[in-house]
Amino acid sequence: MGEGFCRLNLDTLFFSVVLGAIFVWFFKRAADKATSGVPGLVQNFAELLIEFVDGQVKDTFHGKSQLIAPLALTIFVWVFLMNFMDLLPVDLLPTVLSLFGVSHFRSVPTADPNTTFGMSIAVFILIIYYNLKIKGVKGLSKEMLVSPFGPYLFPINIIFRLLEEFVRPISLSLRLFGNLFAGELIFILVALLPWWLQWTFGGVWAVFHILIIAIQAFIFMMLTIVYLSMAHETHGQEETH
């Protein structure tokens, strides 16, 4: 809908919102039914995810923030759910929706660069926010001028720092998009094979792809934690480390 910069990919927005709502509903249900006694299956699974993410945050993030753990959990589960859409038959939803006059439909939000760039830009904004909040304008300016080559090479230091900061969201988004887009293409190629080969190759790739979608969600989460942890560290702390 729309043209140019103002164009909205409704298929991407629809599934991103629906899968995000499923994530919120699941954890709210787990919280509402939580008990100090014998936990149910939903509570067990929710606690397992929370403990896993919390452990990664404690091992990687060295600052103090109540936002990082919930953010990491949201990123991991939400990205995994969006990636998981790639395991649906590649022509299922487009075929069904074509009956209602929808000519093009993408069911995997993370195979759309708008999704991955949107998420990485949100992380980038948080990096800038915490850099300014923790270090202040003076501390951040000093860090950009003297690191990594000392104060006499401050023009090179500034260029390196700007490149480093802008490369982070680009690499974060392109890594996730590239893997999921490639996976989607492979499923399309499998769908073009004779039916008696589709089950063999498709089954093997689906099993392998389950690992990929989980790993990509984990990598996106971990890089977010690492980048925000670096934003909380001052130049003096880095030298001490």
Q: Which amino acid is at 117?
A: F
Q: Which of 107, 120, 157, 179 is catalytic?
A: 179
Phi and psi at residue 46, to the nearest 5°:
-65, -45
106 noted as active-site residue: no
Active site residue 179: yes
Q: Which of 9, 161, 175, 229 is catalytic?
A: 175
Look up 9 and say whether it is catalytic: no
Nearest alpha-carbon partner for 89 in 159, 161, 184: 184
Among 44, 98, 141, 171, the one annotated catalytic: 171
Beta-carbon contacts of 231 under 8 Å, excluding residues fewer than 6 positions away, are: 126, 127, 130, 131, 134
Give, in degrees to the nearest 5, the angle at Cα 140 between 166 and 147.
Answer: 75
H helix and E strand count, the chain: 8, 0
Q: Which residues are the active-site residues?
A: 171, 175, 179
